[in-house]
Amino acid sequence: MAKSRNNLLGVGGQRKKLSRAEQQGAGSARGADRKVAEGKKQELVRKMRERAEAQAATTAAGPGEQDAQPAQS
C-alpha cells in the first residue's frame, strides 16, 4: 500500500483560476495573445520560404557563375 495515499495533489489535473473579467464573460487576453503569436509565426514561415525560394532560384540560375569566383584557401 502506498504511503502517500491521502496526498492526491496533482491527480486529475488542476483548473486554472479565472480572472474577474473571465468570470463575467469577457474573453481572456490569453486568446488574443495566441492569435498574435500565430500571426507572427505565419509571417516568419512566409519570409523563410521566400528566402529559400530566392536562394534556390539563384543557385539554379547560374551554376557557371560560381566558377568565376576565386577559390579561397
DSSP 8-state symbol, 21: H
Question: By C-alpha distance, which of 27, 9, 8 is closest to 18?
Answer: 27
Task: Identify the pLDDT of residue 32.
Answer: 80
Task: Identify the pLDDT of residue 12.
Answer: 67
Nearest-angstrom CA–CA distance, 3 and 53: 61
Please identify which residue in the block is written with the cell numbers 509571417. Answer: 43
Question: CA-based Rg of the chain, rounded to a whole angstrom?
Answer: 27
Task: Identify the pLDDT of residue 24.
Answer: 77
Task: Identify the pLDDT of residue 19.
Answer: 77
Sequence-distant (6+) residues with CB within 8 A of 28 are 19, 21, 22
The string of pLDDT tens digits covering residues 14-72 is 677 777 877 777 766 777 888 899 999 999 999 999 999 999 988 887 655 555 556 56
Nearest-angstrom CA–CA distance, 43 and 45: 5
